[in-house]
């Protein structure tokens, strides 16, 4: 870490002396703090506020003027209430007194010298890949200014269950570090000018000793004395020289050969000759370069590169998955630079595509709300399809509502027929939908919380997950890794047999729901299978296709 942004107050002169001596760069923030609050100032109060802001700024500039460690003045923090004054008179006041240093923030994002974003909630977002495709927009907004992200990886009280499905601090720490590594490396591929993970989230406690002293509980070390996961993550992800894996998709077919881009980053002032080992293991290395699993990998590929100073280069590499189904970790370990090795690690898995049983081909599937993807998929599996509800017979037909949004009024008038079909034991499957107003069939409300990690209720038993591992409901192929498109709520959920949840157990996303005014049940699953079953598309995921086939069985069994 060679740069720090102070918050609500510039650094003391003693710290500035130490930073001068060690070449540490300081982004010094004046005490103009909003955090998006509205102080409800009157015009007269704003006049007093403005004068105090300028007085504070002038005082701090005079005090820290001669410290080369101070490389930027941060004018305000997350105000968005007084942008015209901040970007005008306030900015001009500071620049007139110190034209040698650029400024940061004002309003929401930028000054005339810098465009800054705060993605503080990147580990709160239930779609873990949401940050990555948005990075390009920062540069478009900046229009040539330097681009920084001076606050990310903060903690806002997210449920401990969000990423792992259990209240397990160690598992949560590893999951958050994995997201921090992936997001940081993606920002480095774009060559952001500054990336500052949020210190107040606690990642600086590298040995946990401070927490033990405070609480009197726990161990003072993490995993045999190594750094905590987030701290270890920064050791690698922010290393000046690193070989970084551009690998977000986790699901592959057994024995599949994969072509992956490797970003070779040298942000140092010196040329570097590096050695990169690509290691496939069954255990997570936990961001520890000396992890025992890295000494006994399932497979290994090695490369040597020479990198010019201050360069970024992308090169394709090819690796292969094992023939055996399972969960794995792929790690690029960089050596040849001073200090410990640095890692770029990702989780991957091998999953067989579904095998459609002969009994399924004897059934007729009544598909409502279908589209070209639905037509192509059912045809590719050799399944019989119709689009009308005449002659429904339990055990011989399965009704699939592929997409509820385009259903016609005439189709919705058939609710009574579907209720009778379900009451007689017929199988009705409602696939993921972002809206639901067919309360005559079932009185459910659809929420807008999407998720990239979904979990099974402890007491739930569902044939739709037959033959699948629980970890395979964590992130599906294609950014941002969507697994579920929304939550389920409403009166019918009270008597439902809940199957899956996202973020925390109270947010259900799949259940056997009672039909309105009837004795039958229908499967309502908000799993985003429709967008992951086209094998010709990059987002194809065999996990999603396996689940779809499981859901279609008329007897509810695989």
DSSP string computed for 27-45: EEEPS-B-TT------HHH
Asked if residue 294 is part of any domain, the answer here is yes
Q: Are residues 115 and 213 in the same domain?
A: yes
Given phi > 0 = left and psi -120 to 50 = alpha, else beta, which region is 300?
beta
Chosen domain end from 298, 332, 350: 350
- Cα–Cα distance for residue pair 476/474, rounded to 1 Å: 7
How many structural domains comprise the chain? 3
Residue 141 pLDDT: 94
- Cα–Cα distance for residue pair 37/287, rounded to 1 Å: 38
Q: Are residues 138 and 25 in the same domain?
A: yes
Residue 17 pLDDT: 97
Asked if residue 557 is part of any domain, the answer here is no
- The CATH number of whichever domain residue 500 belongs to comes to 3.40.50
- The CATH number of whichever domain residue 310 belongs to comes to 2.60.40.10
Instruction: Tell me if 180 sits within 8 A of 233, measured CB to CB.
Output: yes
Beta strand 115-119 pairing with 147-152: parallel
Segment 397-444, tens digit of pLDDT? 999 999 999 999 989 999 999 999 999 999 999 999 999 999 999 999
Residue 268 pLDDT: 94
Residue 526 pLDDT: 98
Asked whether residue 72 carries a pLDDT value surpassing 90, the answer given is yes
- Cα–Cα distance for residue pair 150/154, rounded to 1 Å: 11
Residue 106 pLDDT: 85
Asked if residue 527 is part of any domain, the answer here is yes
Residue 466 pLDDT: 93
Q: Are residues 57 and 22 in the same domain?
A: yes
Given phi > 0 = left and psi -120 to 50 = alpha, else beta, which region is 494?
alpha
> Both tokens of residue 166?
């259990």
Asked whether residue 282 carries a pLDDT value surpassing 60, the answer given is yes
Got the DSSP string for 250-279?
Answer: -EE-TT-EEEEEEEEEE-SSS-EEEEEEEE
Residue of 153, 246, 269 lying closest to 200 (CA atoms): 153
Query: Which are the contacts of 34, defined by CB distance < 8 A and separation ≥ 6?
Result: 76, 77, 78, 79, 80, 81
Asked if residue 136 is part of any domain, the answer here is yes
Confidence of residue 318 (pLDDT cuts 50, 70, 90): very high
**Of 333-337, 455-459, 548-552, 554-558, which gets the smallest average pLDDT?**
554-558
Q: What is the mean pLDDT of the chain?
A: 93
Asked if residue 236 is part of any domain, the answer here is no
Residue 465 pLDDT: 93
Residue 108 pLDDT: 77
Q: Are residues 279 and 386 in the same domain?
A: no
Q: Are residues 276 and 342 in the same domain?
A: yes
Segment 173-224, tens digit of pLDDT? 899 999 999 999 999 999 999 999 987 666 655 545 556 666 766 665 677 6
Higher pLDDT, 474 or 154: 474
% of the chain at pLDDT higher than 70: 95
How far, CA to CA in Å, does 47 sit from each of 41, 44, 85? 9, 5, 11
Q: Are residues 95 and 168 in the same domain?
A: yes
- The CATH number of whichever domain residue 171 belongs to comes to 3.20.20.80
Residue 205 pLDDT: 56
Q: Are residues 457 and 341 in the same domain?
A: no
Instruction: Tell me if 415 sits within 8 A of 473, measured CB to CB.
Output: no
- Cα–Cα distance for residue pair 497/462, rounded to 1 Å: 10
Segment 508-533, tens digit of pLDDT? 999 999 999 878 999 999 999 999 99
Residue 557 pLDDT: 47
Q: Are residues 266 and 396 in the same domain?
A: no
Asked whether residue 474 carries a pLDDT value surpassing 80, the answer given is yes
Asked whether residue 230 carries a pLDDT value surpassing 80, the answer given is yes
Q: Are residues 303 and 329 in the same domain?
A: yes
Higher pLDDT, 131 or 154: 131
- What is residue 430's three-state secondary structure? strand
* Mutual angle of helices 169-189 and 229-237, in 10-degree steps: 20
Residue 558 pLDDT: 40
pTM of this prediction?
0.94
State the average pLDDT over residues 277-305.
97
Cβ count within 10 A of residue 272: 20
Segment 376-402, tens digit of pLDDT? 999 999 999 999 898 899 989 999 999
Asked whether residue 227 carries a pLDDT value surpassing 90, the answer given is no
Query: Which are the contacts of 533, defined by CB distance < 8 A and separation ≥ 6?
Result: 373, 377, 540, 544, 545, 548
Q: Are residues 168 and 83 in the same domain?
A: yes
- Cα–Cα distance for residue pair 73/29, rounded to 1 Å: 6
How far, CA to CA in Å, does 347 sit from each of 234, 283, 284, 350, 545? 18, 10, 8, 11, 20
Domain with 296, as residue range(s), is: 242-350
> Both tokens of residue 492?
């019918």
Q: Long-range contacts made by residues 246-250, C-beta under 8 angstroms, separation at least 24?
A: 246/189, 246/314, 247/330, 247/346, 247/348, 248/129, 248/132, 248/182, 248/346, 248/479, 248/481, 249/477, 249/478, 249/538, 249/541, 250/346, 250/347, 250/348, 250/349, 250/474, 250/475, 250/476, 250/477
Alpha carbon 73 to its chain centroid, in Å, reads 31
Asked whether residue 485 carries a pLDDT value surpassing 80, the answer given is yes
Instruction: Tell me if 161 sits within 8 A of 455, measured CB to CB.
Output: yes
Got the DSSP string for 452-510?
Answer: SBEEE-TT---GGGTT--GGGGB--SSTT--SB---EESGGGGGSEEEEEESSTTSEEE
Asked if residue 229 is part of any domain, the answer here is no
Q: What backbone phi and psi angles, to 5 degrees, belong to 508?
A: -75, 140
Residue 501 pLDDT: 98
Asked if residue 528 is part of any domain, the answer here is yes
CA pseudo-torsion sign 249, 250, 255, 258: positive
Q: Are residues 160 and 46 in the same domain?
A: yes
Q: Are residues 259 and 185 in the same domain?
A: no
């Amino acid at each position: 870490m060679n740069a720090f942004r102070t918050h609500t107050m510039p650094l003391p002169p003693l710290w500035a002396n130490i930073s001068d001596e060690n070449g540490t760069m300081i982004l010094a923030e004046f005490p103009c703090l909003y955090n998006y609050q509205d102080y409800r100032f009157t015009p007269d109060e704003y006049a007093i506020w403005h004068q105090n802001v300028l007085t504070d700024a002038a005082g701090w500039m005079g005090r820290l003027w001669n410290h080369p460690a101070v490389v930027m003045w941060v004018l305000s923090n997350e105000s968005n209430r007084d942008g015209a004054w901040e970007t005008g008179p306030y900015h001009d006041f500071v620049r007139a007194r110190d034209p040698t240093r650029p400024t940061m923030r004002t309003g929401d994002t930028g000054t005339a010298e810098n465009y800054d974003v705060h993605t503080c909630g990147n580990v709160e977002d239930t779609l873990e890949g949401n940050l990555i495709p948005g990075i390009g927009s920062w540069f478009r907004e900046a229009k040539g200014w330097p681009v920084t992200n001076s606050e990310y990886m903060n903690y806002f009280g997210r449920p401990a269950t969000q990423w792992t499905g259990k209240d397990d601090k160690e598992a949560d720490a590893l999951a958050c570090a994995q997201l921090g590594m992936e997001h940081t490396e993606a920002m480095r591929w774009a060559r952001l000018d500054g990336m500052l993970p949020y210190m107040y989230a606690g990642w600086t406690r590298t040995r946990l000793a401070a927490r033990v002293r405070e609480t009197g509980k726990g161990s003072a070390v993490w995993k045999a004395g190594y750094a905590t996961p987030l701290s270890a993550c920064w050791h690698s992800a922010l290393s000046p020289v690193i070989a970084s894996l551009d690998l977000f998709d986790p699901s592959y077919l057994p024995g599949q050969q994969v072509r992956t881009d490797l970003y070779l980053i040298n942000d140092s002032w010196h040329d570097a000759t590096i050695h990169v080992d690509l290691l496939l293991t069954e255990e997570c290395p936990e961001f520890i370069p000396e992890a025992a699993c890295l000494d006994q990998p399932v497979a290994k590929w090695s490369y040597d590169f020479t990198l010019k100073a201050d360069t970024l280069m992308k090169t394709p590499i090819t690796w292969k998955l094992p023939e055996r189904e399972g969960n794995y970790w792929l790690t690029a370990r960089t050596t040849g630079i001073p200090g410990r090795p640095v890692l770029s690690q990702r989780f991957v898995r091998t999953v067989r595509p579904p095998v459609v049983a002969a009994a399924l081909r004897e059934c007729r599937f009544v598909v409502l709300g279908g589209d070209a993807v639905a037509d192509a998929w059912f045809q590719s599996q050799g399944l019989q399809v119709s689009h009308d509800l005449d002659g429904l017979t339990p055990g011989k037909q399965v009704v699939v509502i592929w997409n509820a949004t385009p259903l016609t009024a005439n189709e919705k008038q058939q609710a009574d027929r579907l209720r009778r079909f379900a009451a007689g034991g017929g199988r009705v499957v409602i696939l993921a939908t972002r809206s639901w107003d067919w309360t005559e069939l079932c009185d459910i409300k659809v929420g807008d919380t999407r998720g990239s990690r979904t979990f099974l209720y402890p007491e739930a038993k569902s044939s739709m997950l037959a033959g699948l591992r629980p970890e395979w409901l964590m992130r599906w192929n294609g950014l941002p890794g969507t697994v579920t498109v929304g939550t389920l709520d409403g009166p019918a959920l009270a008597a439902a047999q809940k199957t899956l949840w996202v973020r925390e157990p109270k947010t259900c996303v799949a259940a056997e729901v009672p039909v309105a005014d009837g004795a039958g049940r229908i499967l309502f699953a908000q799993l985003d299978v429709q967008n992951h079953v086209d094998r010709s598309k990059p987002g194809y995921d065999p996990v999603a296709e396996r689940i779809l086939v499981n859901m279609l069985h008329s007897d509810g069994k695989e």
